[in-house]
């Protein structure tokens, strides 16, 4: 299992609902700084979506929540997925799930 420790605090930019698989996503351009992530509108919410989470018709391939995790430095995390320069993680202490930039953590493997 991949684990991480935050090296820098991170603040979210909004709390979002979970959008179900199959929901259409309106792409709003291509953000050159956010490689493989698109600014978008999902059911009236402005967010970003990883391009590999979309099918050919720009519908979600999975249930998706774009909420970033509010977290302090030196917090342990379980890494649930790696999506370009972002990690989808779960805070080990509060069991909250969310996104965090990979640059704000140190990762390590744990054998079970």
According to DSSP, the residues that pair with 27 across neighbouring strands are 40
Q: Residues with Cβ < 8 Å from 57, sequence gap 6 or more? A: 24
Q: Encode the chain (112 residues) as per-residue pLDDT tens digits.
A: 899 999 999 999 889 999 999 999 999 987 777 789 999 999 999 999 999 999 999 999 999 999 999 999 999 999 999 999 999 999 988 889 999 999 999 987 766 5
Q: Tell me yes or no: is domain 17-66 CATH 2.30.30.
A: yes
List, edge to edge, every strand of the sheet that includes 26-27: 26-27, 37-42, 45-50
| Domain definitions of the chain by residue range | 2-13+67-109, 17-66
| pTM as predicted | 0.89
- Of the candidates 45, 40, 48, the one whose C-alpha atom is nearest the C-alpha of residue 17 is 45
CATH class of the domain at 2-13+67-109: mainly beta
Which of 42, 37, 49 has its CA nearest to residue 26?
42
């Amino acid at each position: 299992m991949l684990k991480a420790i935050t090296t820098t605090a991170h603040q979210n930019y909004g709390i979002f609902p979970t959008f179900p698989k199959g929901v259409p996503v309106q792409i709003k351009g291509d953000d050159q700084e956010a490689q493989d992530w698109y600014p978008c509108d999902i059911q009236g919410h402005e967010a970003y979506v990883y391009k590999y989470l979309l099918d050919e018709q720009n519908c979600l391939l999975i249930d998706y929540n774009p909420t970033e995790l509010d977290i302090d430095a030196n917090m342990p995390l379980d890494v649930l997925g790696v999506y370009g320069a972002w990690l989808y993680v779960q805070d080990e202490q509060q069991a909250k799930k969310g996104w965090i930039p990979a640059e704000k953590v140190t990762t390590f493997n744990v054998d079970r």
